[in-house]
Amino acid sequence: MKRLTRTVAAATMAATLALVAACSSGSDSTEDVKGGDGGALEKVTYLTSFGNFGRDSYAWVAQEKGFFTDAGFDVEIKPGQGTGATIQTIAGGQAQFGPVDLTGGLLQLGNGQAKDFVAVAAIHQRTLTAIATVEGTGIASPKDLEGKRLADVPGSVIRNLFPTYAKLAGVDASKVTWVNGEPQTLMGTLASGQVDGIGQFVVGQPTIEAVTKKKAVLLPFSNVMQDLYGNVLITSSKLAKEKPEMVKRFAGALLRGLEYALANPQEAADLLKKNVDATNPAAAKAELELMAGYVRSSNTGTQLGTLDSGRVAKSIAILQGAGALKQNITPDQIIDFSLAPKA
């Protein structure tokens, strides 16, 4: 995490997303509405990382504040279903952009489960993936997960990364039972006691506590895997090759929304509520406040969204050392450094 990471509301999968012909075919939009330069807006579909939580509100901010329009885009925002489904949908052309956990992307690419996608900007400089539970389940450390029942979406980064996390944390993964869940039902499943824990992003803590009415307990994957990035913005390899300037414009507008959301978390939460009625504004605001520390690099002079080849290489080495990758891969195979923001 899928980190290392997520949190509430989505539909069941990428196959139902509408194909955006204008972008995938490379043709120009014929809409009357104009962009910041007076030209017609280009229609694209953007997937959130996982449902519609506070952590993903920056996309709605970019839309509501006109950042997408200024960059020349008419954006349809749809709830994502996690790393695997998002990669599949974008590589297949049913959507053009979306965030996925970089480690999850490495696992998908390195194990032959996905291809034809590239990352073009970092959203989180550190992974957010975690196992989340609440007080009273008997889980306070990784070893306590043995004999427990956990839920998450099939193909999520957290489930895919769990064997590596378990190995490094001294947990016998064979003694942990996983059951399938959906973004909109995971927290309710935890609240009802049907499972002992769920896969989540660490920033989901406020929402977990709002839903369960109990104190959340989180086991961050970053405690044992410190070099891993969190979410990165991806697009299809085809779009990156054929329309690099368009990809840069979109990434710039989205990062502008991210920066604004972190500086104005209450406004961002309210804008999410405006577009997603099920939003809990207090929890969404708290998620953004928690997320801020994962978005900014420790080097305060580093531009938002940058990706470092050396760190990605370390992430690959961690996965290879744990036996999690079937194929040898390099940072350039998953990241287009020519399109990513420069440090």
- Distance of alpha carbon 251 from alpha carbon 118, whole angstroms: 13
CB atoms within 10 A of CB 74: 19
Please report, for the domain that includes residue 80, its CATH number.
3.40.190.10
Are both 108 and 238 inside the same structural domain?
Answer: yes
Are both 277 and 201 inside the same structural domain?
Answer: no
The domain containing residue 175 runs over which residues? 129-223
Are both 85 and 209 inside the same structural domain?
Answer: no
Could you say which of 167, 200, 223 is where a domain stops? 223
Residue 343 lies in a domain: no
Residue 341 lies in a domain: no
Are both 108 and 247 inside the same structural domain?
Answer: yes
pLDDT for the residue numbered 18: 35
pLDDT for the residue numbered 297: 62
- Write out the two tokens for 323: 């036996």
pLDDT for the residue numbered 5: 36
pLDDT for the residue numbered 11: 35
Q: How many domains does the chain have?
A: 2
Residue 340 lies in a domain: no
Are both 181 and 61 inside the same structural domain?
Answer: no
Are both 99 and 27 inside the same structural domain?
Answer: yes
- Write out the two tokens for 315: 């992430």
Q: Do residues 201 and 99 touch, judged by C-beta distance below 8 A?
A: no
- Distance of alpha carbon 279 from alpha carbon 158, whole angstroms: 24
Residue 218 lies in a domain: yes
Could you say which of 223, 246, 267 is where a domain stops? 223
Q: What is the residue-level pLDDT of the chain in tens, covering all 343 positions?
A: 333 333 333 333 333 333 333 333 333 333 445 565 567 999 999 999 988 999 999 999 999 999 999 999 999 999 998 888 999 999 999 999 999 999 999 999 999 999 999 999 999 999 999 999 999 999 999 999 999 999 998 878 899 889 999 999 999 999 999 999 988 889 999 999 999 999 999 999 999 999 999 999 999 999 998 889 999 999 999 999 999 999 999 999 999 999 999 999 999 999 999 999 999 999 999 999 999 989 986 554 568 999 999 999 999 998 898 888 999 999 999 999 999 998 7
Q: Is 263 exposed, middle or buried (0-12, 13-18, 19+ CB in 10 A)?
A: exposed
pLDDT for the residue numbered 173: 96
Are both 37 and 53 inside the same structural domain?
Answer: yes
pLDDT for the residue numbered 157: 81
In sequence order, which residues have a C-beta less than 8 Å from that of residue 238 and are 6 or more positions away? 93, 116
Residue 120 lies in a domain: yes
pLDDT for the residue numbered 2: 37
Residue 6 lies in a domain: no
pLDDT for the residue numbered 156: 82
Are both 260 and 285 inside the same structural domain?
Answer: yes
- Write out the two tokens for 290: 């928690």
Are both 78 and 107 inside the same structural domain?
Answer: yes
Residue 342 lies in a domain: no
pLDDT for the residue numbered 30: 32
Could you say which of 208, 223, 238 is where a domain stops? 223
Residue 7 lies in a domain: no
Are both 208 and 264 inside the same structural domain?
Answer: no
Are both 117 and 245 inside the same structural domain?
Answer: yes
Are both 118 and 243 inside the same structural domain?
Answer: yes
